[in-house]
Structure 1
Amino acid sequence: MTPTMEHPHLFDERDALVSRIRALCLRLPEAVETLSHGRPLWKAGEKGRTFAVLGASMDDPDTLLFKPDPAEDPAWRQDPRVFVPKYWGPGGWLAIRLDRSTSDWSEAAELIETSYRQVALRRQLAVLDSVM
């Protein structure tokens, strides 16, 4: 058997950025946090699809990977903070560089919710629409 390689964690569990993004993600119906390749990611349900990932790479950790609404994709690609992330880009994902010093996380919340809406089940969206 080949030994499995464990990826180094990209963030400390107590990192304020992780806490902020976690709070925005876990407010969504049935959202679940997991760890993949040393990065926290969030799925729409235990066996659901990923809707947010923190950290595009070891060299670019302060980034949020998101799946944009197809109608908004061209506009996001014009934003200088946004780029096509390696590996995820072919699936329609984008990444945005986050500003740790900001006190306004409404843009990140909007990106996360929009990304969630791209992958969530109808019943999850119904719950979201009833509480938001």
Structure 2
Amino acid sequence: MAHAKMYDDGDLHFQRVRALALTLPAADMKVSHGRPAFFTQKVFAYYGASVKDTGSAQERSGSTAAGDGYVQHPQVVVIRPEEADVSFLEQDPRVFRPAYLGPAGWFGIDLDGLDPARDEGWDEIAEWLETSYRLTAAVKLVRELPRRE
């Protein structure tokens, strides 16, 4: 059974994330389980996520109930950080562990506070995308990226 499409091509946040992700060497996009997934051979980021609905206000902030026991977060980028960054991410109120992917080390970063028409804040998202890419892409592709200082 095919999954329903869970994003809007006209969503400006999605367009910004897609543009950032596709600048990485050999990056492409596919739809997986109804959501955009950015990948080379392995996925390095998703757009949109859900969490189990436990009724907390934080889960409902900027999200929609799906009626299936999950709260949808449509304007979120899901990335895999380096282990050294986990405690930093856990302190950020925009960040959460998404259903299914969270236990495997993935984090969702809420984009609701970012204006897709302005550059402010998007450098950080680009850095998280690149970090996740570095953890999942082939060594040959990672070598094409600028060295980190």
Fold equivalence (TM over 0.5)? yes
| RMSD over aligned Cα atoms | 1.5
Aligned length: 123
117-126 vs 55-64, which moves further: 55-64
Q: 2:18 aligns with which of 16, 22, 26?
A: 22
Deviation for aligned residue 1:89: 1.1
Q: Post-superposition shift, 1:116? A: 0.4
8 Å Cα contact 1:33/1:41 also seen in 2: yes
Map of 1:43 onto structure 2: 39
* Aligned residue among 92, 110, 126 for 1:109: 126
Q: What TM-score does the superposition give when structure 2 sets the normalisation length?
A: 0.77
Q: Distance in 1 between matches of 2:47 and 2:24?
A: 16
Q: Select which of 86, 90, 103 maps to 2:103.
A: 90
Matching of residue 64 in structure 1 with residue 77 in structure 2:
yes
Q: Which sections of structure 2, spanning at least 5 residues, go unmatched? A: 51-65, 67-71
Name structure 1 gaps, 5 residues minimum. Answer: none
Give the Å deviation of 1:60: 1.1
Which structure has the highest strand share of the two? 2
When residues 101 and 69 of structure 1 are mapped into structure 2, their CA distance, relative to the original with a 3 A threshold, is closer
SS at match of 1:63: strand
Per-residue Cα deviation, 1:5-58 (whole angstroms, up to 9, x for no partner) = 2222111222212210110000000001000111001002xxx11100000136
